[in-house]
Amino acid sequence: MWRRCLILAILVASILGLGVSAMPAAAQNGVVWNGDYYNNVTLTAPSAFKRQDAAVAFDWGNGSPGSGVNADNFSIRWGSDPTFQAGTYRFYALADDKVKITVDFSYTPLVDTFSQSKVGQVVSGDLTLTAGQHHVQVDYAELSGNAYVYVTWANLATNPTGPNFPVAGGSAPSLPPLSSGPWTAQYFGNAGLSGSPTLIQSEATPSHDWGSGAPVASLPADNFSARWTSVQTANAGAYQVSVRADDGVRVVIDGITYINEWHTATASTYTANVSLSAGQHSFMIEYFEAAGVAFLDYKFLPLGVSVQPTVPPVVTGAVMTVTKAFKLNVRDAPSARTGNIVAKINRNESYPIVGRNANTTWWQINVNGIVGWVNASYVTAVNAQGVPVSTGGTTAPTAIPPSNCGTAPTPRLVAGKTARVTPGLPNNIRSVASTSGVLLGQIPTSGIFTVLGGPQCSEGFYWWQVNYNGIVGWTPEGSNGQYFVEPIVGNG
């Protein structure tokens, strides 16, 4: 009998418009959103109507979100208090036109496209949350044309691959797959990444906000540094890397330095566009803290336009730096007379070398995805002894190992395959193909790793770029006719 009375009470309350608590929805992380819908773009009261929504996931096309609201020039504010497990979360949004995500009434939105339009682009922000309830607010404004908005989040420890937003409005792009393995984090008790790291651990993301404190008790609150390395898998396309840091930060992807802001700073944001081929790519983020508050906010998102990168990735380990010119032309052929200018680079800028002409008077380099030639007399090259000869054009050559590399045995490893360390001592993994490179870690006896690129001849060793449990760096193949590592037969 009591069940019938309860059902009847709910029906009466619904008819009379009385408040009835909604059950948590299974979609959108199982939360219920309280929405205020406004007939203006400024979220100015009074609202046209209020309602509860099971998810912030709408595509209204050219229509209106509800009675009393125009099809254009409207805005909405949703609020909810979902329960989170402790962890670092990535909040995602996709909208036409503007969207903003704020957590726990912060003065600084985690995601904000009100000031910079990013229609049809997936935007995100990372935040570390304690266990329990947190208030999430989403603001949305529609100006004209199509109207859609999608918001969700994911715990980076369990779901780092991002959302699968639909193609909204018939034109908005979904997020290309970008899967990230764990990051290997190294923390140093100095601001210069020097010496042995105080702490090495696996982390879900390089993004942190330490405030005025230290990352761990064994590190100082000021004058420390950190390095994160990871291998991520992406679709071919155009991406944007964005870092906001206090103080210095560097971003290196596939050996190319896209952001190099190694200086004191206060909440400065730096961005760079990156073109990637389909497959695995190595990422390295370096950071230092001088004094005061310490934080790093890292984002890597698709630009929304899928493009084939200009050049396939080629890893030679060689790098050149402009040292004898204030501004240097990059040409599409190794000739100042016949080569057309495709880019200009500045003094003290460094880029990877991917090829050379027959007499090594010109270097072929990769400038953020643009491949071209620079006159060798204006630059200083390092680790360039194994660079292959290129015939020109904008396609980078395949790296070919030198025919003679001291006492090193003939290379047997293959990029894209797996290999293991032979019985005996562990193999060191270093930041560059040199015994003087920073020691990133070790591969134990019989440890299995993935070969990413190489080989490169240096100091009598053939070096290979490898990934071992998320640690990406260079390891030698052997010396004096003895192999330190061996390919795994039948691994495809």
Q: Which CATH superfamily is domain 418-487 in?
A: SH3 Domains (2.30.30.40)
Q: How far apart are CA 189 and CA 179, in angstroms?
A: 31
Cα dihedral 422, 425, 431, 434, rounded to 10, equals -90
Q: Which residue has the higher pLDDT, 189 or 155?
A: 189
Q: Which residue has the higher pLDDT, 129 or 369?
A: 129
Core vs surface per residue 28-67: b (16+ CB within 10 A) or e = bbebbbebbbbbebebeeebbeeeebbbbbbbbeeebbee
Q: How far apart are CA 264 and CA 267, in angstroms?
A: 10
Domains 23-175 and 179-302 share a fold: yes
What is the structure's pLDDT at 311?
A: 40
Q: Which residue has the higher pLDDT, 162 or 294?
A: 294
pLDDT reading at 462 higher than 70? yes
**For the residues 442-468, what does the mean pLDDT come to?**
84
- Other C-beta atoms closer than 10 Å to the C-beta of 304 total 20
Q: How far apart are the first and last CA of the chain?
A: 67
pLDDT reading at 412 higher than 60? yes
Distance of CA 438 to the CA centre of its chain: 22
What is the structure's pLDDT at 238?
A: 78
Beta bridge pairs of residue 35: 51, 78
What is the structure's pLDDT at 156?
A: 75
Asked if 57 and 164 count as a contact pair (C-beta separation under 8 A), the reply is no
**For the residues 11-40, what does the mean pLDDT come to?**
55
What is the structure's pLDDT at 177?
A: 40
pLDDT reading at 16 higher than 60? no
Per-residue pLDDT tens over the stretch 348-406: 877 788 888 888 899 988 775 567 889 999 999 988 887 777 755 444 444 444 445 77
User: Which phi and psi (to 5°) does residue 171 adopt?
Assistant: -140, -20
Work out the mean pLDDT of the chain and round it to a whole number.
78
**For the residues 252-256, what does the mean pLDDT come to?**
88
**For the residues 403-430, what does the mean pLDDT come to?**
82
CA distances for 275 relative to 285, 303, 439, angstroms:
18, 10, 29
Q: Domain 23-175: which CATH class?
A: mainly beta
Q: Which CATH superfamily is domain 319-382 in?
A: SH3 Domains (2.30.30.40)
Question: Two tokens at 32?
Answer: 């219920």
Q: How far apart are CA 130 and CA 89, in angstroms?
A: 11
pLDDT reading at 176 higher than 50? no
Q: How far apart are CA 432 and CA 468, in angstroms?
A: 15
What is the structure's pLDDT at 325?
A: 86
CATH architecture of the domain with range 179-302:
Sandwich (2.60)
Which residue ranges make up each domain of the chain?
Answer: 23-175, 179-302, 319-382, 418-487
**For the residues 61-76, what does the mean pLDDT come to?**
85
Q: How far apart are CA 171 and CA 331, in angstroms?
A: 36
What is the structure's pLDDT at 255?
A: 87
**For the residues 448-453, what does the mean pLDDT come to?**
81
- Other C-beta atoms closer than 10 Å to the C-beta of 359 total 9
Per-residue pLDDT tens over the stretch 79-122: 999 998 888 888 888 888 899 999 999 988 999 988 777 777 77
What is the structure's pLDDT at 327?
A: 85
CB-based contacts of 26, cutoff 8 Å, min separation 6: none
Most confident by average pLDDT, 159-163, 378-382, 464-468: 378-382
What is the structure's pLDDT at 485?
A: 93
**For the residues 147-170, what does the mean pLDDT come to?**
68
With cut-offs at 50, 70 and 90, classify the pLDDT of residue 15: very low
Question: Two tokens at 291?
Answer: 């004094």
Asked if 405 and 457 count as a contact pair (C-beta separation under 8 A), the reply is yes
Question: Residue 463 burial (CB < 10 Å; 0-12/13-18/19+)?
Answer: buried
